[in-house]
Structure 1
Amino acid sequence: MLMPVTHRTLLLNASLEPLCVVSVHRAVTLVMSGKASILETDGRELHSERTSLPLPLVLCLTRYVHVPMRKAVAPTRRTVLQRDNHRCAYCGGGADTVDHVLPRSRGGRHEWTNVVAACSRCNHRKADRLLHEIGWELPFVPRAPRGLAALMAGSHVDEPTWSAYLVA
């Protein structure tokens, strides 16, 4: 069976806390070496000449791995849109770009607390003005994603079977 190129597997620590998202190749390597076991599959199988293996969607390590503090995820266009659920912070519509609340031309920095998702129309209307100058308000205070949101910021695959393992 041909594999979709974008398929990823959620890797859990032995304590069932999410660690990262790995490629299918890495997932199969972990299972075949006995370092992880398959918790969730979608029924498809991977075949080689001598063995077959269920396609892993969620893996659990057999031994606990201590993970040091994670480095903060940078506020890129993709990660900001993900944090704000692709919704414009100003009108609530679909967002396709990001906006600096305090414009960079006025000393604003490119950091989580100053960047929000925005639609092109609102971004253009706001331009380099401050919110109070045009009578707008933010419905939330922009913050850096923490915990699982930061972990998933690097993943573009939304796998429904992962939801049970990603509850906060």
Structure 2
Amino acid sequence: MAKVLVLNASYEPLNITSWQRAVVLLIKGKAEQIEHNGKYIYEDFPLPTVIRLRYYVTMPYKEIPLTRRNILHRDGHSCQYCSYSGDDLTLDHVIPKSRGGGDTWENMVTACVRCNVKKGNRTPKEAQMPLHQTPRRPISSLYFEVTKHVRTGTHAEWRKYVIGL
């Protein structure tokens, strides 16, 4: 069903919640509606897509696990060498493990099989295969979730509330 982006009092994204939970926060006066999609729950009560809490909430930092799925999402499901986007993508170590490279966000990228084999046991510079973007640790797990909704076009209005989109 419909998802709602919850912003902190400072307009920074906190989480994504259901429209039912968002409506409860609005009715209780704990949040205010910022965006809606033109659909209505009741007359004069639009279905929210973005709400902002009236009070500031501190959130602890949450580490994002280094997984194949998360690396593919970070890299937009495309090869970082040739931009191919298909089903047969692999993970490549920028600095090969045999040469001291480890399993880190900054050393792993998505690559197609062809580019991965072509690069082999070399660095991108040695193989003359520059990366399209430098691999970085993602900002937050919420950033991952929000980008999924924005990229699919279901919640394009969320784009202005997230840095780096």
Among residues 133, 149, 166, which one is paired with 2:162 in the alignment?
A: 166
Q: Deviating runs (4+, > 6 A) in structure 1?
A: none
Among residues 55, 59, 76, which one is paired with 1:63 in the alignment?
A: 55
Q: TM-score, normalised by structure 1?
A: 0.73
**Displacement, 1:19?**
1.4
Q: Distance in 1 between matches of 2:25 and 2:8?
A: 12
Counterpart of 1:46, as a letter, is I
Counterpart of 2:102, as a letter, is R
Runs of 5+ consecutive residues of structure 2 not aligned to the other structure: none
Q: TM-score, normalised by structure 2?
A: 0.74
- How much is the aligned-residue C-alpha RMSD, in angstroms? 2.9
- Per the alignment, residue 31 of structure 2 pairs with 36
- Per the alignment, residue 26 of structure 1 pairs with 21
Runs of 5+ consecutive residues of structure 1 not aligned to the other structure: none
Q: Distance in 2 between matches of 1:82 and 1:24?
A: 25
Residues 44-80 of structure 1 deviation map (CA, whole Å, 9 limit, x = unaligned): 1235xxx884221101001121233x12212323332
Q: How many residues align?
A: 156
C-alpha change, 1:161 and 1:154, in structure 2 (3 Å) is closer
3-state SS of 1:117 partner = strand
Is residue 2:112 matched to residue 1:119? yes
**Displacement, 1:157?**
1.4
**Displacement, 1:167?**
3.8
Residues 8-34 of structure 1 deviation map (CA, whole Å, 9 limit, x = unaligned): 211111121211222223322322332
- Per the alignment, residue 7 of structure 2 pairs with 12
Counterpart of 1:21, as a letter, is I
Q: Distance in 1 between matches of 2:157 and 2:128?
A: 43
3-state SS of 2:145 partner = coil
Counterpart of 1:141, as a letter, is T
Is residue 2:89 matched to residue 1:93? no
